[in-house]
Structure 1
Amino acid sequence: MSAQTRETVREIETPGGPGRAHVQRPQRAHGTVVLGHGAGGGLGAIDLAVAREVLLGAGWAVVLIEQPWLVAGRRVAGRPPTLDAAWVPMVEALLTGRGRLPRPLVVGGRSAGARVACRTAGTLEADAGLLLSFPLHLPGQPDKLRAHELALAPDPSWVVQGTRDTFGTPEELRPHLPPGTTLLEVPGAHSYPKGSRGALTDALTRIAGMLPA
């Protein structure tokens, strides 16, 4: 991390208990990217790590959000309404008050975090979306689509999807992409192996060059 990048961890109260915001802010940031984690894990996913590295290097403030259920040590995520109810006040707290982070605001995350970002983008008046491994459906249940959530993604948005993602391949996602959404394919499944780092870096570097700074 550059000596000119400030790193802080903020605990923010929500209706579901305290959540954590891991903030990395370079001087004169172009704007802010806020990313949420999936339902089965924390902030260590490789696509979240690569997104933070690439976007920070491109001059964006980057925030990784820990939902209250994860902060509390629970192993299972709450229902979607509880995730949204925690996400919104956390992002709003980052954008207001002393030390507030700058707009434009890019919201996103991986898997369940991408769903939360889509559902709440309108409330937060987000300027763009970054959706990693969007779970269009549960594995083996392609008839139970979440396309109505994807339709709420901001314009513009970018989706980074594994070619073998059992929650929805790029081919399955493509017919449901809303206007202004760009799909980038990366070799891999829903959770990427370490060998996907190079392809993820390439995809996210392309996206960083297109964000509405």
Structure 2
Amino acid sequence: MSLLRNQPGGDLSATLVLAHGAGAPMDSPFMNEIASRLAARGVAVVRFEFPYMAQRREDGRRRPPNPQRQLLECWRSVYASVRAEVAGPLAIGGKSMGGRMASLLADELGADALVCLGYPFYAAGKPEKPRVDHLAELKTPTLIVQGERDALGDRPTVMQYNLSSSIRLHWLAAADHDLKPLKASGYTHTQHLDTTADQVAAFLRR
């Protein structure tokens, strides 16, 4: 399995294994931007690809994500590999689907923390079918950075959920699923990515 690493230039506070979302690879612009910002803040980032995305890299053909069972097995394998070589705090997480899969395993794996960026609380257009049952029982310290107008989990809808006390939500003003704000909000995507990295780095230091 190919791993992509961003190492801090200075002191290391934690390592974060970060999975990609359903439609973009581990080196998408979003993943590159977040990883470089976290490394600049003392967090080592390790990225990997689920089997379907690794296949797409080889042959260029788009395909849907693997079944959940296979995605979780991939996560277990990557976590075991990284855990064997990392002595300090080790967190897991990801963008959208990658973060959701990590949330299903965080307690099982004994991860030190969970970080989700743009969490898919429900499928697009289906807020009446939330995917949050396991989040009510989650014990792993968790940070979810979410756009207020995320089509897979906007603020008014998510605030109605019964989430575990171990979960901390940080809302980004007027931001969508990729943490991009409306221009009229006065914020930029760069500002929101910087804020995200600040929040994640501070959370992992604690």
Common fold by TM > 0.5: yes
Cα distance in 1 for partners of 2:46, 2:30 equals 14
Deviations 1:12-56 (A, max 9, x none): xxxxxxxx3212233652221011011111124554334312321
Query: Residue 123 of structure 1: SS of its match in structure 2?
Result: helix
Aligned to 1:101: 86
Q: Which runs of structure 2 are paired with 1:9-24 in the superposition (5 Å)?
A: 11=1, 20-24=2-6
Q: Which runs of structure 2 are paired with 1:93-132 in the superposition (5 Å)?
A: 93-96=81-84, 100-132=85-117
Percent identity between matched residues is 28
Aligned to 1:200: 193
Closer, same or farther: CA 156–47 of 1 in aligned 2, 3 Å: farther
Structure 1: runs of 5 or more not aligned: 1-10, 12-19
Consecutive aligned runs of 4 or more in structure 1 exceeding 6 Å deviation: none
**Bigger fraction of residues in strand:** 1
Give the C-alpha shift of residue 118 in structure 1. 0.5
Whether contact under 8 Å (2:106, 2:140) holds in the other structure is no
Deviations 1:91-123 (A, max 9, x none): 111121xxx123311111011101111011122
Aligned to 2:170: 184
Structure 2: runs of 5 or more not aligned: 57-61, 182-187
Q: Which runs of structure 2 are paired with 1:1-213 in the superposition (5 Å)?
A: 11=1, 20-26=2-8, 29-73=12-56, 74-96=62-84, 100-151=85-136, 153-174=138-159, 175-186=161-172, 187-193=174-180, 195-212=188-205
Matched residues, number:
192
RMSD, matched Cα: 2.1
TM normalised by structure 2 equals 0.83
Cα distance in 2 for partners of 1:137, 1:81 equals 19
TM normalised by structure 1 equals 0.80
Whether contact under 8 Å (1:95, 1:102) holds in the other structure is yes
